[in-house]
Each structure stands twice: as C-alpha cells, then as structure tokens.
A = this chain, B = another copy of it.
Amino acid sequence: MLGKLLRRELLRHWRCRQDLINPLIFFLITVSLFPLAVTPDGAMLSRIGNGIIWVAALLAAMLSLESMYRDDFYDGTLELLMLQSGSPYSVVMAKIISHWLTTGLPLVIMSPLLAVMMQMEGDAIGALMLTLLIGTPVLSLIGSVGMGLTVGLRQGGVLLSLLVLPLYIPILIFGAGAVSRAAMGMDYSGQLAFMGAFLLGSISLVPFASVAAIKVSIR
C-alpha cells in the first residue's frame, strides 16, 4: 500500500518536475539575498553563513509544504484517499517521504555550493551537510502536522508558518549550533545525537498526529 501510494506521489511530482527545482531556487535566492543586504565581507559571511543557510533551508522546506495536502484537499482526493485506502497511516507516510525526497534531499545536496558561496570551510561544510541530512526529515515530519491542520483553511499559508516555525526551532538551534562548533574545530557529536533522537522520536510519533490532524480537517 505504502509503496503504491509513494509511487503516486512521486509520479505527481514528476509530472510537474519543473516545480521540483523551485524550492532549490528559493533556497539559493534567499541565501544570496543576505550578502546583498548585510555585507559582502567574507570574514563576516563565514561567521553568519551557517545560520543563514539553516534558516533558508527551514523556510524553503516550510514553503514547499503547501504542495503536500493542499491540492489533494481541494479536489476531493484527500477524502477519497483517507476513506478508500484503508490505511490513513500509509497515505500520510507516503506524503512525508515524498516531500522529503523532493525537497529535503535536494537541499542537502545543494548545500555545499551555498556554503562555498558563504566562504565556509571544509569541516563546517561537512557538518552542514550532515546536520541537514538528519534535520530535513524532521522538518518534513513536523510540517506534515501543521499542514494537515491548516489544509482546510483559506490563507492557511501564513498561519502554517506561525504553527510550524516555533516547532522547528530546536532543530534549528542544534543544527546551526553543530555547524558553528565544527567551524571552530570543536566536537559536535552531542548535537548530532540530540538531532538523531529527535528524528527517531518524530518518525515514531508524528505520523499519528498527522493522521489525526487530517481527520479533523476533512470533516
């Protein structure tokens, strides 16, 4: 069941593959706004780069949440899937996994490029990729609850940010913290361990919250 549903999601994304690169481009543009707005000074940039890249990744992941349930809700497909699939859990999991595959993973792959633009060093770049790799699935997971809750609301978009961003904060703090420790040559395994625990915890709990959220929304 999960497999087929996942294929459906990926097929849909493939059909609008042009949209796939959009979060990436948003990520790229947002990050490159900062040197323009703040300062082009390299030393400064390399200090603030990790934080900026993490925040931009957060925003890109959040903005692309829209595509998770919104369309399906408005044309009645979400109802149909929840009623007819027999397994709401698989529906939600398929959505979360495909969201990560199409948004989180590309962000991880893209991040070294931006890190170089922000004058970051080798160690820090490695840490950045690693933390994003652990962190982005959490963003997709938590995001799916927020999106599930707001899918039926007009102008859900900005409300979504109000619900989701505060929940993203711990991941942001640990992710960005680990990178800046790495940049200073310190050990950051503590942060990684915490992020890992957070990931495991949310994989096991969050899908149920998402199912509950969607069930609330479709009635």
> B-contacting residues of A (Cβ < 8 Å)?
16, 19, 22-23, 25-26, 29-30, 33-34, 36-39, 44, 47-48, 50-52, 54-55, 58-59, 63-64, 66-67, 71, 154-155, 157-159, 161-162, 165-166, 169, 172-173, 176
Please name 15 further chain A to chain B contacts, defined as beta carbons within 8 Å, in addition to the given A33-B169, A34-B55, A36-B173, sorted by A numbering.
Answer: A19-B158, A22-B155, A23-B158, A25-B158, A25-B161, A29-B165, A30-B59, A33-B55, A37-B172, A38-B47, A38-B48, A38-B50, A39-B48, A63-B63, A67-B155
CA distance in complex: A105, B41 (Å):
32
A71 neighbours in B (Cβ, 8 Å): 154
Q: Tell me if A's interface is mostly helix, strand, loop or mixed.
A: helix
In the complex, how many angstroms separate the beta carbon of A151 from the nearest chain B beta carbon?
14
**Complex CA–CA separation, A59 to B52 (angstroms):** 14
* Across-interface contacts of A159 in B (CB, < 8 A): 19, 22
Which residues of chain B have C-beta atoms less than 8 A from A176's C-beta? 36-38
Q: Which residues of chain B come closer than 8 Å to A173, judged between CB atoms? A: 36-37
From B19, B51, B162, give the contact of A22 (CB < 8 A): B162
Inter-chain contact A158/B51, CB cutoff 8 Å: no
The contact sample of 21 A-B pairs, CB cut-off 8 A, is A19-B154, A19-B155, A19-B159, A22-B161, A22-B162, A26-B158, A26-B162, A30-B165, A33-B58, A34-B51, A36-B172, A36-B173, A36-B176, A37-B173, A38-B48, A38-B51, A38-B176, A39-B51, A44-B47, A48-B48, A63-B63
A99 CB to nearest B CB, Å:
13
